[in-house]
Amino acid sequence: MSVFRGLSAFPITPADPMGRADAAALRTLLQRLRIAGVDSVGLLGSTGGYAYLNRTERQRILEVALDEIGGAVPVIVGVGALRTDEAQALATHAGGAGAAGLLLAPVSYTPLTEDEVYQHFAAVTEASDLPICIYNNPSTTHFSFSLPLLERLAQLPGIGAVKMPLPADGDFGAEIARLRDALPAGFVIGHSGDWGAAASLLAGADGFFSVAAGLLPEPFLRLGRAAMAGDAAQTGRLDAAFGPLWELFRQFGSLRVVHMATGILGLTEAQPPRPILPLPETERERVVAALAALEAI
């Protein structure tokens, strides 16, 4: 079974203003995910601030995570980087350290062509034997994968999944059908953008890559398991309880919201990496209320 199937939890990376991770706080976050029983942990995704950390720190963070939960929960690690050689080095280290899979986004300053992205991915597949999930996140990378490019990448060894943004038209079923028709059998199709989790999983996605699962794994797992089982009524009830949190995510971006929420929960006082500013204190009551709405589900 692919490591990318199921419900993957993406936690923040607690770090100081200099980008040094707080290993103890990270271990606390990871313990919660292990105890809850998430299917995998997505370390150093966008919510994990990978783009704001240097290679040495990213490698140390992975080693801490694997020491804490390796062997108990599969760890997927983000290896996106501006330079191809940097992404290759991160991928090679991840394989040697014991990660279960890689998440690769086409990070760039200069806009990339499709051939440049293809060659970038091909080079990373040569650096590691770990399975790779394509990270299609145009809101941050400003690159959107076309269907022909996904078809081409799916032929590379090791590339077996795609993490898609929410479809602009909201038609998850049609998008998943198009992808299944074009991609090899068994290729894993999942989404991110937590307010779309219920619709994505009810429509038949193979998994979901969730920020909320990294913060509140138990309630999110109840939502995700209900949706994957096709229980629309239960999914709707649970999704409604998440509504206040989804609204905050849409308005402010999940990274800012989750940092404040981890502080409210007493898990870490770490702030987002600058230049990203913390969520305004005027929104604290809304975050408290959103967390309270999920306590009873």
Active site residues: 135, 163
Coil/strand/helix, residue 62: helix
Tokens 């040569």 identify what position?
Answer: 126
Coil/strand/helix, residue 150: helix
CA dihedral over 80, 127, 176, 222, signed as positive or negative: negative
User: What is the full DSSP assignment across 264-276?
Assistant: HTTS----PPTTS
The H-assigned helical ranges of 101-210 are 114-127, 138-141, 147-153, 172-182, 197-202
CB 8 within 8 A of CB 209: yes
Q: Which two three-digit tokens encode residue 99?
A: 């990660």
| Phi, psi of 169, deg, nearest 5 | -90, 0
Type of residue found at 248: L
Say how many CA atoms lie within 13 Å of 22 toward its Cβ.
Answer: 17
